[in-house]
Structure 1
Amino acid sequence: MEKIMDRRQFLIRTVAASSQLILPPFFDRALAFVENHGEPLLEAPVEPIKTLYAAYREEGVYWIIDGLMPKEIPPAITWREYFLLTGDDVVSGIENWELEPGQLDEPMGYWVWETYWCYNLSPNAIATRYLSDLDLGPEFGSCGEAKGEIRFWDAPMITSDCRWAEIDDLLSLSLLQNRLNELGENVSLEVGGEFN
């Protein structure tokens, strides 16, 4: 059975001194910043090549998105464009989707397009695919030297055609930006973006 949720934490680099655990300066600064200012400490690269947004969703949860959410799903593409986009062979695609050759340049059915767009092309799907491929840290609860949490959801309900990454707290947003910096990703994280 395929996993519908993957939980990871951010590994906190530590130094042992006289048998006491000393948290690194970034963790201390981030925690103090969140407590004093009520916002995450986001030390973005000077010239990022990409910006991810932490968009407030509901009940204190932030979805990580790549670009701003459109007000509505873009218009459906044609079947021919779909086959080019997915790399499917046109002949096999026509057969698999039970299409007539004349339908190739017609727009896909709305529900088929919506499902594909939400799962593969939406800002939340793009960010989820990008982040889940990175070494952000260990699985949740598997390491005592980890803090914060990011969860990756993959169509968690039978009627869901969506995937997303979510974070519950401002400290975890700080730790995500810090980990992206450690990995040399040259990606900034900003709090903002809205869901319609």
Structure 2
Amino acid sequence: MNKFRDKLSTRNTAETGVRYEWYALQRCAATYYREFEKPKIIWGNLATRASFTYDEKDHFFINAPACMLPTSSKFILGVLNSNLISYFLKSICAERQGGFIEQKPVYISQVPIKKPTLSEEEKIIKLVNKILLLNKRINEIGDKKTSESARIEQEINKNDEQIDEIVYNLYGLNKKEIAIIKDSLMK
């Protein structure tokens, strides 16, 4: 690399306004790293179903196949984790061995987000907040299978089902379409 030191020393200063060491290889986040410091929706690249979470702790990802959506909308988080969106993603994402799908941004950007009524949005946000609190409690309990963790998981599932019902209604699905989605996700 020493051979190219002069050329490397002057690159991208005008683009980013920041002078990096001449040998620095990665400066790709120079213009948007502050987005990581904000609340956001994050997800892993591989999953068996839609699996998104909310990060308000300023997490950064280094060498990880993870993605982020720079929004603090818990309504969007609820919709993204719904059975309907799982079904949609399974139909458009690249499939991998073991039933995994690649949840790359190119696919996530195709998810249609319907404009909710104020009531629908408030209900989903309230349920998402409950789920986030319940998941914090599950994490505190750890890997121990207790009656409390089982109860919490049941409550999470109940809240997920309520979100699913609101999302089905928001997208105008009928009972037959809902049954197709549920049946497909059981496989």
TM-score band by shorter chain is under 0.3
State the TM-score, normalized to the length of structure 1. Answer: 0.22
Higher RCO structure (Cα 8 Å, ≥6 apart): 1
Question: 1 or 2, which has the higher helix percentage?
Answer: 2
